[in-house]
Structure 1
Amino acid sequence: MRVVYAGTPEFAVPALEALLQTSHEVVAVYTQPDRPAGRGRRLRPGPVKQKALEYGLPVEQPATLRDDAALERLRALAPDLMVVAAYGLILPREVLPIPRLGCVNLHASLLPRWRGAAPIQRALLAGDRETGITLMRMAEGLDTGDMLRKTRCPIGAEDTAGTLHDTLARQGAELLVSALDDLAAGRLGGEPQDPQQVTYAEKLHKAEAVLDWQLAAAALDRRIRAFNPWPVAQTRWRGEPLRLWMSTVAPQAHADAPPGTVVAEGPEGIDVATGDGVLRVTRLQLPGGRPLTAREFLNGRSLQGERLGDES
C-alpha cells in the first residue's frame, strides 16, 4: 500500500518506525507545524518530523487540512491508506474518502471509553484497572468510528501517565503492523461503538494538578501518577510550590491530624494525612531543584508536623 502517516508527538514515533519496517511504502508524513520552544522560543520540529527527516521521508506541515491547496496535495499523493496517531489536527470530512482504503487512527484507550484528548491520564484518574489501544476507522466526530482491532494493557499500582504512554506507544506500533495486511486485503471488518459506554477524556489543565488534601489518599495517589510527567502534581510548603512526582497509599488507615499534615517521615517516604487515609510521598521536587527521593529530600530538613497546602 501507499501509506500517508500523520502524527506529531513522541507517542506516534514507534508506529511510524514499525510501518517503515514493513513492505508498505510511506509516501508522506503529515505533522503539525514547528512550534516555538526553549528559552529562545526558536521553532522546533516535533518528534515525528525529526524521525521522518532521519529516514528521508517527504514531510507535509499544513496549518489546516480544510483548504483546497492542502486537499489537492493529499489527493496528488494517491494514498491507499492514511494512518493517524496523535496528529493533533482534526481531519475534515473531505479528507476521509481520499485514501482508497480510508483513514485509520491509533487511539490510546479501549473505545468507546475515553474518547478525546487525554485518555491515558483520565484512565489513571478514574482508577481504571486496564487501558489499551484501539485501531479505529476514522469518521466524522471525535473518535466515533468503527473499531477494527484492540490490544489491552493492565494499569499497575506504580504506573504513571509516562510509563503507560511508553507502553501504549509500543503496543500501538505492534497493533498497526498486525493489521496492515488485513487492511490491504479488505479483511478487517469494523465493530460499531456502543453509545451507552461512551466517556470523554477532556484535555488536561494545569489547575487540576494542585492537590486538595481533603480528597482520599487513593484519589490523590492517582492524581500524582496521572500528572507525571505533565503538568506534575503540586502543593505548597512554607509558601513555596512543592512538586510531587510519585506516591503510594500508606499502610495506616487514618491519622488524627488535619488533611495536609505530615504525620510521619523516613527513608521510605513522607506520610501526609488526607481526607481519607494517609498518602506516602516518595519522590518530590522544590523550585529550581531536581526531583528527589524522600531519603534525599529529608537529608538536612524535616517536614514532621507541618501542613502542606494553601494554609501552610
Structure 2
Amino acid sequence: MTCFVIGEGTLLIGCTTILCQQGFQVKGVISQDQQVRSYCDKEGFRYVDSSSDLKSVLEENPFDFLFSITNGYILPEAILRLPRQHTINYHDGPLPAYAGVHATFWALINGETTHGITWHLVDAGIDTGAIIKQRVFPIEVSETSISLNAKSYTAAIDSFREVVDDLLTDNLKTHPQNLTGRSYYARNKRPDLFINWAQSAADIDRLQRALDFGFHPNPFGCLKLWLNNTFFQVRKAVATTTKSQTPAGTVVSILPNNLLVSTKDNLLAIGEFQSLSGEAISIESLCEQTGLREGQLLAQPDSEIIEDCRDAGKECARHQQYWINKLVGFQPTGFPWPASHEINKDRKPGCTYIDISVPDFVKALLEEQNSPGTRADYLLVAALVMLARLTDRLAVHVGFQSTTTRRIATDTHGLFAEYVPFAVEFDWEAGLEEAVAVVRQEQVEVEKRLTFAQDLLISQPALHSVAHELSERGIPIIICCDQSADECIVPEKSIAIILTDEAKYQVAFNPSIWPAHWVSEFVNRWMLLLENMVFQPKQPLKTIPLLTQTERQRILVDWNNTAVAYPATSPFISS
C-alpha cells in the first residue's frame, strides 16, 4: 500500500515510522516543520513543502491513502479526491465533541473529567467524518495542557497501530458521528486571560494549568492580573482549601513568594509575576510599583477594556503565525555608534525633537517623480537605505508604529504590541522607484497584519532569544507613520523617525541615551542621501553618495596628497 503523510510534529514522525515498519510505501511527507524535514533527510523520505502546489505533486504520484496528522490546514476537496482509498485524520479530541483546534486546552477549561482522541475519515466538513478509532482516558485533578497532550500522544500512537493493522487486513470499520453532540472551537476563539475574582479558586487554578504547555508553543498567552490600571503576567495560581472570609478580590496576605487573595469561595495563591515584556517582578517590587497592601480590594478591568481586549484577540489571532515567523528572523538594525544604556544623569531625561526640513528643490524633484509614493514614502526609503549603508547590511530591520497598532495597544493597555517588525531587503543594483515599491509593499503587508499580543514572545519557545535581545537592547530605530509627534510615545532606548502625511517630519530621541550631535549628524546624512537619490533616481542604491563634495575632496584627494619632493642632492643610500 502507498501513502502520503501531511502535518507536523513528533506524532507525525512516530506514525510515519509505524507505517514503514508495517510495510507501507511512504511516497512523501508534506510539512513545513523543520523537525519533520530533518527526519525525512535522515530516513530518506521525500520531503514536500506544504506551501508548494500539492495538487500537482499528488497527481503525479498516485497513492492509496493520505494521512493527516497534526495538520493545521483544511484540505480542499480537490486534494481529498486524489487518494485511491481514504484520507484519514488524527484529532486530539473525542469527536463529535471538541471539533476544531486546541481540544485539550478547552477540555481543561471546561472542567472535563475525561478526554479522548479520534482517528476518522475526512469528508467535506471540518472534523465531521466517520470515526475509525477512539480512545478515552481520565483527566487528573492536577492535569495541565502539556500532561494531557502527552496522554493524547500515547493514545494516538497505540490506536494508530490498530488503524494500520485494519488497513492491511482490509478490516477497516467505521461509524458515523452523532453530530447532535458536536461542539466546535475555532482558531480565533480566545479565553479571557485576566483573573476574575468572582470565579472560584478552582476555576482560576484550572485556567492557569490549561495555559501550561511546558516546552511547547502556547497559542493563547499568559494569565493576567489587573493592578493599578496595569496588566501584570501571573505564572503561578494555585487554589487553596482555605475558605474566603473577605469579599472576592481582597488581598488577605502578602508573603515573600506569593499573594493570598479571596475568590468567591477559597483563597487563591498567586505568584511569579512578570511585566508584559516578560521581565520578572518580585513581590516586593510589585508592592513598590503599585502600592499594593494587605486588605486592598483588587478591581476588575472595566467592561470596555475587557471587550477591547477580546476584540483585539479575535482580530489578531489569525495573524499570529505571520508574526511568529516575522519575529524569528527579526534582527533590529542599530546605528553605527553605540547607545548608552546607562542613562546619563547629567542630561535631562525625556524626549528631544529635531525637525526635518526638506529643501524646496528636493520637494520640487519629488513632485516630478512619476510614482504613486508620497513624500513620506521617499523620506522613509532614504532613511532605510541610509541605515543599511551605514551598518553595511543588505537588509534593514526596524520597528513600525501605525495608527492601528497604536490604537490597539492603547485600547488594550499594552497587552498588544505598539511597535511591530518592519524588514526590507533592497536590490542594491536598482534605483529609487524600485526601492519605494519594496518599502510600500512591506508597509501594506505589515499594516494588514495588525499587531500581536506582547506575551507572544514569552509563550513561543522559538522567540525566547528574540525576547531576550529586545529586553536588553530594545528596538533602536522605530518608524512612526500617520500621526503627529505629540502622539508618538518613544521608547526610552529608541530613536523615532516620525513621518506624517501632513508634511511634518521629525526625529525624536532620549538625549540621556543618544547624544544629540550624533543624531543631528544622522539627520544631515539622511537629507544628503535623499537629495542625491531624487537628483539621480535611476542610479543604483549602492552607489548613492553619502558624502558632500567637500568631504569627498578631503578624503579622496587632500588626505592622499602625500607626495614630498625628494632633495636632488641627497643620495639614495646614506652612510
Amino acid at match of 1:277: N
- Which residue does the alignment assign to 1:41? none
Which residue number corresponds to residue 25 of structure 2? Answer: 25
The residue that corresponds to 1:235 in the other structure is: 225
**Displacement of 1:223 after TM fit?**
1.6
Tell me, yes or no, if structure 1 residue 59 matches structure 2 residue 43: no
Work out the CA distance in 2 between the residues paired with 1:247 and 1:285: 13
| Deviations 1:239-262 (CA, angstroms, capped at 9, x unpaired) | 654333343321023230342x33
1:16-95 alignment, distance < 5 Å: 16-32=16-32, 45-63=33-51, 70-95=54-79
Kindly indicate whether the alpha-carbon contact (under 8 Å) linking 1:101 and 1:184 is maintained by their aligned counterparts in 2: no
Find the counterpart in structure 1 of residue 125 from structure 2: 141
1:174 is aligned to 2:162: no
Q: Which has the higher contact order (CA 8 A, sep 6+)?
A: 1
Where in structure 1 are there 5+ consecutive unaligned residues? 33-44
- Give, in angstroms, the shift of residue 84 of structure 1: 0.8
Shift of 1:152: 1.8
Contact 2:257-2:272 within 8 A present in 1 as well: no
- C-alpha distance in 1, partners of 2:232/2:151? 28
Q: Distance in 1 between matches of 2:225 and 2:36?
A: 34
| Separation (CA, whole Å) in 1 of partners of 2:255 and 2:188 | 33
Q: 1:107 aligns with which of 91, 94, 103?
A: 91
Letter in 1 for 2:74: I
Q: Give 1:282 shift.
A: 6.1
- Measure how far apart 1:96 and its partner are: 2.1
Q: Partner of 2:4 in structure 1?
A: 4
Cα distance between partner residues in 2 of 1:233 and 1:99:
44
User: 1:98 maps to which residue?
Assistant: 82
Higher mean C-alpha displacement, 78-87 vs 161-170: 161-170
TM-score (norm 2): 0.46
TM-score by length of 1: 0.80
Q: Give, in angstroms, the shift of residue 177 of structure 1.
A: 1.8
Instruction: Tell me if structure 1 keeps the 8 A contact 2:242–2:266.
Output: yes
Per mean C-alpha deviation after superposition, the further-off stretch among 10-19 and 190-199 is 10-19
Paired residues for 1:215-226 under 5 Å: 215-226=199-210
Rounded to whole Å, the distance in 2 between the matches of 1:206 and 1:111 is 21
- The C-alpha deviation readout for 1:213-260, integer Å capped at 9, x for no partner, is 22222222222122223222222445654333343321023230342x
Q: Secondary structure of the equivalent of 1:95?
A: helix
Answering whether residue 111 of structure 2 is matched by residue 123 of structure 1, we say no
1:250 aligns with 2:252: no
How far the C-alpha of 1:15 sits from its partner, in A, is 3.0
| Distance of aligned partners of 1:235 and 1:19 in 2 relative to their CA distance in 1, 3 Å threshold | farther
Q: Kindly tell me: are residues 113 and 10 of structure 1, through their superposed partners in 2, closer, same or farther at Cα, counting changes over 3 Å?
A: same
List structure 1 runs of 4+ shifted beyond 6 angstroms.
299-303
1:277 to 266, 280, 284: 266
Higher helix share: 2
Kept after mapping to 1: 8 A contact 2:261/2:267? yes
Partner residue of 1:155? Answer: 139
Q: Note if contact 1:217-1:275 (Cα within 8 Å) is conserved in structure 2.
A: yes
CA distance 1:145–1:234, change in 2 (3 Å): same
- Cα distance change of structure 1 residues 246 and 92 upon mapping to structure 2, 3 Å threshold: same
Structure (1 or 2) with the greater strand fraction: 1
Alpha-carbon deviation of 1:91?
Answer: 1.1
Identity across matched positions, percent = 21
| CA pair 14-167 structure 1, distance change in 2 beyond 3 A | farther
Q: Return closer, same or farther for 1:146/1:281 CA change in 2, 3 Å cut-off.
A: same
Matched to 2:261, the amino acid is V
> Secondary structure at 1:250's aligned position in 2?
strand
Tell me how large the CA RMSD over aligned residues is: 3.0
* Deviation by residue 1:32-88 (Cα, 9 ceiling, x = unmatched): 4xxxxxxxxxxxx44433433333321112437xxxx53232132222211111211
Report how many aligned residue pairs link the two structures.
290
The whole-number CA distance in structure 2 between the counterparts of 1:197 and 1:204 is: 22
SS at match of 2:78: coil
